[in-house]
Amino acid sequence: MDISTAAASSIVGKLLEEISWEKARDYRAGGQGRENVLTAEVLIGLDFLPREAFLGRVLRAAHGANEARGRLARKVEELQMQFLPGDFSCGGVDVKSRLVVQPDAIFETPNTYTLVEAKRIRYGSFQPEQLAREYIP
């Protein structure tokens, strides 16, 4: 892997790529309050800290899909993390019926594939059901 490919695949590299499409001045003061910056900071920490004790605990504390979350949490040490992976197409057999989403991250193990939509902690009427409202007709 060459250096440019390695940088573009890192969390910081993907964040810089995202920033390059936006106004850089919006990221002054360290990007305080910017969702992608907050997500990057959290995922970097969870990637470097002992996975079982930190990321595993976050996964176990999440809500919904208990069996799938448990399977992912049990394989947390093997987990490969992709930050801001871009468009992801799912469902449907033809192009028109496929759903295109842009997850904040993808967590992948040999037997799980998890799309992550991260949200900062604050009240917002749209946040809890964002994906359902956007993607389920």
Mean pLDDT, consecutive 10-residue stretches, the chain (137 aa), reads: 54 76 69 74 87 92 87 92 84 77 88 82 59 60
Length of the chain: 137
**Contact 133/126 with Cβ under 8 angstroms?**
yes
Place of tokens 């504390």: 61
pTM: 0.70
Tokens of 68: 């799938």
Q: What percent of the chain is helix, strand and coil (3-state, nearest 5)?
A: 50, 15, 35
